[in-house]
Structure 1
Amino acid sequence: MQNVELEAVLRVPGKNAARKLKEKGYIPAILYGKGMESIPLAVETGKLRTIVQKHGRNVLLNLVVNGATHQAILKDEQRDELTGKLIHIDFQRVSMNEKIEAAVPLKLEGVGVIESKGLLVQHQKWELNVESLPTSLPDEIVVDVSNLKIGDTLLVKDVNVPEGVEKVDDPDEVILTIVAPKNADVPETDESVETSSENG
Structure 2
Amino acid sequence: MKSITIKGSERESVGKKATKALRNAGKVPCVVYGGEKPLHFSADELAFKNLVYTPNAHTVKVDLDKGEKIKAVMQDIQFHPVTDRILHIDFYQLFDDKEVTMDIPVRLQGNSPGVRNGGRLLFRNRKLTITALPDNLPDFFDVDINSLKIGDNILVESLLSDDFTILQPDSTVVVQVKTARAAIEVEEEGEEGLEEGEEGAEATEGAGETAAEGNEKPAEGGAE
| TM-score range normalised by the length of the shorter chain | 0.7 to 0.9
| CA RMSD of superposed structures (Å) | 3.4
Alignment of 1:177 onto 2:179: no
Q: Compute the TM-score of the two structures, normalised by the length of structure 1.
A: 0.76
Alignment of 1:72 onto 2:72: yes
Q: Write the letter of the residue equivalent to 1:104.
A: I
The structure where helix makes up a greater share of residues is: 2
- Contact 2:62/2:70 (8 A) holds in 1: yes
Using a 3 Å threshold, how does the CA distance of structure 1 residues 133 and 112 change in structure 2: closer, same or farther? same
The runs of at least 4 consecutive aligned structure 1 residues that moved more than 6 Å come to none
Aligned residues between the structures: 194
Alignment of 1:186 onto 2:188: no
Helix, strand or coil at the partner of 1:21: helix
- Residue ranges of structure 1 left out of the alignment (5+ in a row): none
Q: Write the letter of the residue equivalent to 1:138.
A: P
- Contact 1:32/1:38 (8 A) holds in 2: yes
Question: For 1:112 and 1:27, how far apart are their aligned partners in 2?
Answer: 43
- Contact 1:58/1:137 (8 A) holds in 2: no
Deviation track 1:89-114 (CA, whole Å, cap 9, x = no partner) reads 22111111222221111111124655
User: How far apart are residue 125 of structure 1 and its match?
Assistant: 1.0
Helix, strand or coil at the partner of 1:149: coil
Q: Write the letter of the residue equivalent to 1:159.
A: L
Helix, strand or coil at the partner of 1:107: strand
Identity of matched residues, %: 21
Who is 2:135 aligned against? Answer: 135
Question: For 2:123 and 2:82, how far apart are their aligned partners in 1?
Answer: 23
Q: Compute the TM-score of the two structures, normalised by the length of structure 2.
A: 0.69
User: How far apart are residue 5 of structure 1 and its match?
Assistant: 3.1
Helix, strand or coil at the partner of 1:70: strand
Structure with bigger gyration radius: 2
Who is 1:21 aligned against? Answer: 22
Question: For 2:25 and 2:114, how far apart are their aligned partners in 1?
Answer: 47
Alignment of 1:46 onto 2:40: no
Question: For 1:111 and 1:21, how far apart are their aligned partners in 2?
Answer: 48
